[in-house]
Chain A
Amino acid sequence: MKSTVIQFPGSNRDRDMIAALTKINGEAPSLVWHTDTEIPATDLIVVPGGFSYGDYLRSGAIAARSPVMAEIAKRAEQGVRVLGVCNGFQILTEAGLLPGALMRNAGIRFVCTNVKLKVENADTVFTNQYSRGEIIPCPVAHHDGNYFADSTTLKQIEDNGQVAFRYAEETNPNGSVNDIAGITNKTGNILGMMPHPENLIEADHGGDAGRALFTSALNIVANEAA
C-alpha cells in the first residue's frame, strides 16, 4: 500500500512519521505540501504532528483551512485511510473531519511523557492488529490535547464505537473527557490520536507497541521476524 505525508509550515513530526512509514512499509511515503491541491494515488494519508502555523488562533485552525484539506476530505470520502497524530488530530477536528475539539490541557502545562493506552476498539482498520482491551505504552507531547465534545456528540461517538484508544491506568495527561486519546470518524477510515505511535516502532525506542497501528493501516501481515 502507498502512503502519503502532508507537510505544513510548522510541522515537526513529519520526519519521524516519514521514517516510521519508510521502515514499516519498505517504501518512502509521498510528501505533499499544504498548498498542493492534488495528492498522488495513495492508500493512507498521514497528517503529522507539530505546530502548524505556530498554533495561531487555535491549534490546527489555520492548517485545517489549507488548500490540501479539501483534497484530503475528498479522498477520505472515497474511503482512503487518513491518520492524524497530535497536531494532525487537532487539524482533522478543526477541519470537521472528526467530531469534537482539542482544548488546552486541563493542567495548563505542555506534557511530554509516556502514557498507557487501552485499545478500546480493535475492529478498525487502524487497530485490527491489536486486541480489544490491550494496554500499550505510548509517548505524548502536546499542549492542547484535552479532548472535548458536547454530551450528545460524546454519546454518539461512544455508541458507535468510535473511541479507538483511551488513556488507561490513570495516565490521562490532559483532562480529555472519558479519557479519550484517539477517535475515528463514523465510517472508521479516519483516525485522530494525540499520542505518537510513530515514536514507538522499534526496540531502540524503548518498545515497538506503535508498530501494529501502521501494519494495520497498511494491511501488512504481522511478521514475527520483523
Chain B
Amino acid sequence: MIKARVTVTLKNGVLDPQGKAIKGGLGALGFEGVESVRQGKVFDLSVAGDDAKAAEKSISNMCEKLLANTVIENYSVEIL
C-alpha cells in the first residue's frame, strides 16, 4: 500500500478571503509580523499496490479530475 499526501492551494493572484480573515484572527490574538495567510487543503490517500510512480501518476489524475479545481487551485502530490 502506498500512502500519499495531496496539497491543494489557491493559485497566486486568486483572492483568498478566508486566509485574510485568518490573518486578521492571528493579529487579534497578538501574533505580530504575519504578512499573509493562504488557506489550502490536505488529502491523505492510501492507494493499493506498491508502484509509487504509477500511484503518483494516478493521484495527479485524481487532482486534475476532482481533488483540485485547476481554474483556481494548484496541487502537489507527495508519496510518503
- Write the residues of chain A forming the contact surface with B, with a CB cutoff of 8 angstroms: 57-58, 61, 65, 93-94, 99-101, 103-108, 146, 148-150, 175
Contacts and interface: CB of A to CB of B under 8 A. Distances in A.
Nearest to B10: A103
Q: Is chain B's binding surface mostly helix, strand, loop or mixed? A: helix
Contacts of A175: 15, 17
Of the candidates B14, B21, B67, B69, the one having the most CB atoms from chain A within 10 angstroms of its own CB is B69
B72 A101 contact: yes
B69 A58 contact: yes
B21 to A, nearest CB: 6
Contact of A104 (B18, B65, B69): B18
A93 to B, nearest CB: 8
A65 B65 CA distance: 9
B28 interface: no
Interchain residue pairs A-B with the least CB separation, the first 7 = A101-B71, A101-B72, A108-B17, A106-B17, A101-B69, A108-B21, A104-B17
B14 A148 contact: yes
Task: Please indicate which of the listed interface residues A93, A99, A148 has the most CB atoms of chain B within 10 Å of its own CB.
Answer: A148
* Best-buried of B15, B65, B71 by chain A (most CB within 10 Å): B71
Nearest to A151: B13
Interface residues of B, number: 11
A104 B15 CA distance: 9
B75 to A, nearest CB: 13
A100 B71 contact: yes
A106 B15 contact: yes
A96 to B, nearest CB: 9
A57 B66 contact: yes
Interface string B37-80: 00000000000000000000000000001110101100000000
Interface string B7-48: 000000011011001000000000000000000000000000
Contact of A105 (B17, B67, B69, B71): B17
A184 B72 CA distance: 19
Contacts of A148: 14-15, 71-72
Nearest to B11: A150
B7 to A, nearest CB: 15
Contacts of A58: 69
Nearest to B70: A101
Contacts of A146: 15, 17
A142 to B, nearest CB: 14
B15 A103 contact: yes
A77 to B, nearest CB: 20
A150 B71 contact: yes
Contact of A94 (B14, B18, B21, B69): B69
A171 B14 CA distance: 22
A105 B14 CA distance: 12
A206 B21 CA distance: 36
